[in-house]
């Protein structure tokens, strides 16, 4: 029996829930609704546009990924979400200012029907945000149970076969792992005792896993990256993934740095600065939220360049990342990079990049792919951290304290080989004719 036979079919509706209904989430919903109506092509989405080679090069067999693995059909997706701000998805999309009115009008009614469920929210975790559409509970366990009830209700009301959750909420303040995060038992006691170290995103994650719903985290805060949640995900057979969508400047970094390293070019400085004017930029203007982002952005070069193995090339690298909140630019970020490299006989060279990017336009296809691949993983009985989805994250989670893989091209190979193996095909090694 090939492996394909054990992946459960994608039948019925897939409820796609996002804690957070801001710029990224509404751009994702709007794009998928436009694709459903045949208005836009799914640009940037590997699940929709990507091909995968099967067998040797001489076989010339390269189906679309969506024809190779049994993914949910986009027409079977139903959206929902939670947000402490009471705007429906149309109002939130207008406020986010990512999409032009002529793109929103044809899907206005569908977006207006997506109304946020009340959120589990604590302002201490996102200082620059105020919201009134929030849940009240006697303790954090009660809040988690209310979220579980929302999930159940959503599934029933929309007649869904399955649910999947992708965190698109604001970046929470930076935190290190605390005692309460170290085991499921400690975490569950912490929920009952209102432990202040349990953040809202962790409460959503706990509720999702209790309901056996796959959960991916698009923000840099810990969320599902704690031992208690690993333990719970293993116990309940639930796939989890994170963290921090890899878009914009970090995407470019993980494209360029592997290139420098493969040619053994040295690097002694990489200065990255951004201006960003959306609500995410405003939230990141708070030093505690920025700290979460900074940790996630800084990590990538270290693991790609391996300064311990290549001290002559990378041990003196000075890496700096700045994010500046600058409202006039809204979601249209501008990121500058100055890269100081050196070559033969240590002669210095410089590269300057000016990336005028659109954050949510880059993030939306990632959110879609994560939802579809996490749903696939669940139907293939996968559990715990889905390392094969590192491709989508700035700061990929790993299991068993393994070193993360940040090189975009290795990540892509890993993702595709995982799909090949799941479908009973040979992984591609690129050896000889392969």
Ligand X SMILES: NC(=O)c1ccc[n+]([C@@H]2O[C@H](COP(=O)([O-])OP(=O)(O)OC[C@H]3O[C@@H](n4cnc5c(N)ncnc54)[C@H](O)[C@@H]3O)[C@@H](O)[C@H]2O)c1
Task: Point out which residues pair with 46 in neighbouring strands.
Answer: none
Whether the Cβ atoms of residue 293 and residue 172 lie closer than 8 Å to each other: no
Contacts of 15 (CB under 8 A, 6+ apart): 78, 80, 154, 155, 158, 160, 162, 163, 164
Q: Does position 223 bind ligand X by CB under 6 A?
A: no
* C-beta nearest to ligand X: residue: 22
Interaction between residue 84 and ligand X (CB under 6 A): yes
Q: Are 243 and 224 in contact (CB under 8 A)?
A: yes
Contacting residue, 50, 106, 131, 137, with ligand X by CB under 6 A: 131
Q: Which of 7, 10, 96, 165 binds ligand X (CB under 6 A)?
A: 96
Question: H helices then E strands: how many in the chain?
Answer: 16, 10
Quick one: which segment of 83-91, 135-143, 316-324, 373-381 binds ligand X (CB under 6 A)?
83-91
Residue 82 is a binding residue for ligand X (CB under 6 A): yes
- Which of 185, 186, 221, 189 is closest to 205 using CA atoms? 221
Q: Which of 17, 24, 104, 198 binds ligand X (CB under 6 A)?
A: 24
Strands (E) across 72-156 are located at: 77-82
DSSP class of 178 = -
Q: Are 390 and 411 in contact (CB under 8 A)?
A: yes
Does 280 help bind ligand X (rule: CB under 6 A)? yes
Q: CA nearest 111: which of 91, 95, 90?
A: 90
The residue among 20 and 299 lying less far from ligand X, judged by its C-beta, is: 20
Query: At what angle are helices 89-96 and 23-36 packed, to 10 degrees?
Result: 110
Q: Which residue in the set 16, 17, 20, 65 belongs to the binding site for ligand X (CB under 6 A)?
A: 20
Figure out which of the listed residues 7, 180, 233, 362 binds ligand X, where binding follows CB under 6 A: 362
Asked if 79 is part of the footprint of ligand X (rule: CB under 6 A), the reply reads no
Q: Which of residues 321-360 bind ligand X (CB under 6 A)?
A: 359-360
The nearest distance, CB 119 to ligand X, in angstroms, is 4
Distances, alpha carbon 52 to alpha carbons 7, 205, 271, 378, 406, in Å: 18, 32, 36, 21, 21
Q: Does 299 bind ligand X (CB under 6 A)?
A: no
Q: Is 22 in the site for ligand X (CB under 6 A)?
A: yes
CB count in 10 Å sphere of residue 213: 24
Collect all residues with Cβ–Cβ distance below 8 Å to 407 and sequence separation of at least 6. Answer: 254, 257, 258, 304
In the bound state with ligand X, the residue whose beta carbon lies nearer, of 18 and 380, is 18
Q: Does 248 bind ligand X (CB under 6 A)?
A: yes
Q: Decide: is 31 part of the binding site for ligand X (CB under 6 A).
A: no
Residue among 120 and 165 whose Cβ is closer to ligand X = 120
Give the integer Cα–Cα distance in Å for 419 and 411: 13
Count of residues that interact with ligand X, criterion CB under 6 A:
37
What's the min distance (Å) between Cβ of 204 and ligand X?
Answer: 7
Query: By C-beta, is 169 or 404 nearer to ligand X?
Result: 169
Residues 168-187 within binding reach of ligand X (CB under 6 A):
168-171
Q: In angstroms, what is the minimal distance from the CB of 85 to ligand X?
A: 5
Contacts with ligand X, residue ranges (CB under 6 A): 19-25, 82-85, 96, 119-121, 126, 129, 131, 168-171, 200, 218-219, 244-245, 247-248, 278-280, 283, 359-360, 362-363
């Amino acid at each position: 029996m090939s492996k394909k036979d054990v992946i459960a079919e994608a039948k019925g509706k897939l409820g796609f829930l996002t804690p957070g209904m801001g710029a990224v989430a509404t751009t994702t919903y709007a794009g998928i609704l436009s694709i459903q109506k045949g208005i836009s092509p799914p640009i940037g989405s590997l699940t929709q546009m990507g091909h995968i080679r099967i067998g040797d090069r001489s076989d010339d067999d390269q189906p679309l990924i969506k024809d190779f693995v049994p993914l949910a059909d986009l027409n079977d997706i139903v959206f929902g979400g939670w947000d402490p701000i009471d705007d429906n998805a149309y109002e939130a999309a207008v406020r986010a200012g990512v999409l032009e009115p002529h793109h929103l009008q044809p899907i206005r009614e569908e977006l207006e029907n997506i109304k946020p469920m009340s959120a589990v929210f604590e302002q201490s975790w996102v200082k620059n945000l105020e919201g009134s559409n929030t849940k009240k509970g006697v303790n954090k366990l009660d809040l988690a149970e209310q979220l579980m009830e929302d999930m159940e209700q959503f599934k029933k009301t929309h007649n869904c076969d399955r649910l999947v959750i992708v965190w698109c909420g604001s970046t929470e303040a930076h935190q290190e792992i605390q005692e309460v995060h170290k085991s499921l038992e400690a975490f569950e006691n912490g929920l009952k005792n209102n432990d202040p170290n349990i953040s809202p995103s962790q409460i959503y994650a706990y509720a999702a896993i209790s309901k056996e719903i796959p959960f991916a985290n698009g923000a840099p805060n810990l969320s599902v990256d704690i031992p208690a949640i690993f333990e719970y995900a293993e116990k309940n057979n639930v796939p989890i993934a994170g963290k921090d969508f890899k878009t914009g400047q970090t995407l470019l970094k993980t494209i360029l740095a592997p290139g420098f390293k493969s040619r053994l070019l040295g690097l002694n400085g990489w200065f990255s600065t951004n201006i960003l004017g959306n609500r995410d930029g405003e939230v990141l203007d708070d030093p505690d939220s920025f700290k979460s982002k900074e940790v996630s952005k800084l990590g990538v070069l270290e693991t790609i360049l391996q300064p311990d193995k290549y001290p002559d090339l990378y041990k003196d690298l000075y890496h700096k990342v700045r994010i500046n909140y600058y409202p006039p630019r809204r979601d249209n970020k501008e990121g500058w990079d100055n890269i100081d490299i050196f070559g033969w006989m240590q002669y210095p060279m410089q590269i300057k990049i000016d990336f005028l990017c659109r954050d949510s336009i880059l993030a939306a296809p990632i959110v879609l792919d994560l939802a579809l691949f996490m749903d696939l993983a669940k139907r293939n009985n996968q559990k715990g951290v889905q390392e094969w989805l590192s491709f989508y994250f700035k700061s990929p989670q790993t299991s068993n304290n393994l070193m993360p893989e940040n090189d975009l091209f290795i990540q892509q190979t890993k993702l595709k080989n995982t799909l090949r193996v799941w479908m009973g095909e040979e992984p591609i090694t690129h050896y000889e004719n392969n």
